[in-house]
Amino acid sequence: MSWRWCNKLPVKAFVGDHKGSAAVEFAMVLTPMMLLLFGGIEAGRVLWMRHALEKVATTSARCIGIRGNDCSTGGAFDAARALSYVQTQAAGMGIRLEQVDIDVRDSATCHGAAGFSQVVVTKTLYSAVPLLVDFLSSANHQLSAQACFPTQQA
């Protein structure tokens, strides 16, 4: 064997070999595919949570406005029962709200009109894909929902 044949054979064999091309192509496509997959899941979760918060706020504002038994005591506004009702409604949808996340008002002004019951709920978003959320949203990662309902007069 001559030294020339030994030196040229590995280079030609390496350049002509296509056995690992599928693995290289898969590695190149894997990152964008995973970003699309987990990004779609995360976007769906954020939209679901926003909808759930809006439903909790609307249901709670209505309960306070009509002086429901779950939100009032003897037909009068009871802030503690209203907060408890909001937390119970949120828990029923799988969302845990602390008291600091809830703002309940019996006599509020909504869109320039007085005499409304108002509920504002805010939830901090924690993501399984934090870099994607950082890229797509603002820095505070807060979801918020607000609802008003006319207050029933006694």
- d(CA 154, CA 149) in angstroms, rounded, equals 15
pLDDT of 34-88, one tens digit each?
Answer: 888 988 888 888 899 999 999 999 999 999 999 989 999 888 899 999 999 999 9
**Predicted TM-score (pTM) of this structure:** 0.76
State the pLDDT confidence band at 136, using cuts at 50, 70 and 90. Answer: low
